[in-house]
Structure 1
Amino acid sequence: MYTQSIHLGGHKTFDEFISDFNEDAFHWDKLLNSYAGVFGKENIIVKRYHKSFLPENDSLIKEFGTILNSNVLMSFNKTNPRNRGISRDALEITRITNQYLNSEDQYLLRSIFQESNAKQPFESYAYMDSERRKSYLKRFSKSNALVSNAYFGDAIEKLFPEDDIEHQNYLPYNGLTSDAVALNLSKSIVTLHKKLKRLEDNLQHEIKKTGIRYKIKKALSRLIKG
């Protein structure tokens, strides 16, 4: 959610984001109670949104397909993630510059970073160490227990698994360095140069093809007239 807020133009630090965040959004029992009050608890199907239960790109759509008994959705396999992640340094540059750029320029910068400073395969970064994350999640343990008991009964022990908390590759982020800024901007400039070069080459190729077609057309015209 924090990363997405930066992609959408936010410029708060993570600690500022957390301190201003409305934690009611994570009290799932309140949300479900509001739905139950309108539709009736018996008409609600509760599913857990977690990578352990949705391991593939298409898992969420297929899950809906199972609920709706839709063969089309259950066999869906065309999900194409649109937002490629960017490196931690690129994200920090984006956060800082968001407050100075308009929405169009923010989008352009993000697009450049997605090409030049994308996250590497299997690269991940966390904003909390395991102890801080445990402490934060503990605030919602009562709410999660209520949902677990009300909608899953004895079928599960906990609403969400905790095994991934201990094994996160958490590395403290110490902020941007001058070397990191220089590297990220240099990679962006090189990427733009290569992109412009490809466009120029394509344009020259099209011009050349157009010239050849013109010469052929002119030669045929002479033959016909002759």
Structure 2
Amino acid sequence: MPPTVEPQRKHLVPIAGLFSAVLIISLILAGKIVALGGLTFSAAVIVFPLSYVFGDVLTEVYGYASARRVVWAGLTAQVVWIAAYTLAAALPPAPFWPHQAAFETVLGATPRFAVAGMAAYLAGEFLNAYVLAKLKLRLAGRRLALRLVASTMVGQGVDTLIFVGIAFGGVFGTAELVRIGLGAWALKVAWEIVALPLTLPLIAWLKREEGEDHFDRDTDFSPFRLRE
């Protein structure tokens, strides 16, 4: 029998790095609430949907198990960020540096946003990857655009619900929470749809480059299993 050709996966590490970078940037931006075009949403919407684009790419090309490992790596990056900020804020400022108050004002909500973001991120990313992998099996790899949007709608819906509830619960009233949540969810899904002309060719290119188009037929979908 001819030897089995192992996938190269030469682009997996750069994608994982960009994925983690997007998560950290999102934490920093999350504290600003934007009102635009009748929608109210966190400024993290500028970049956070990219994490779902990368998650889609990881699951579609490399499979759920690889995406799962990157999701946990992203969580580790978030923990390192929040620990570093907490230490930096606690250190006494130099006498000639007058920006301690501004530093704490801009980034002071980071711990709460980090808890909200990490809980929402884990639930949303794993659900997104699960739905995408299952739909790929059910549809025999067809209708990629539909699968990407459908998985994002589900994953981002849960992500937004958890994040808004933890990050802004008790800060804003119910009406404001609903507005923030619906606005953010709508923008995230729209972001996914707008990105399709880039996401679809990227996935096709990666499949050719890596020689891989993974189907999760025998995958253990537990989010807590780190080995493939």
User: TM-score, structure 2 length as denominator?
Assistant: 0.28
Choose between structure 1 and 2: higher helix proportion: 2
> What's the TM-score, normalizing by structure 1?
0.28
Q: Which has the larger radius of gyration?
A: 1
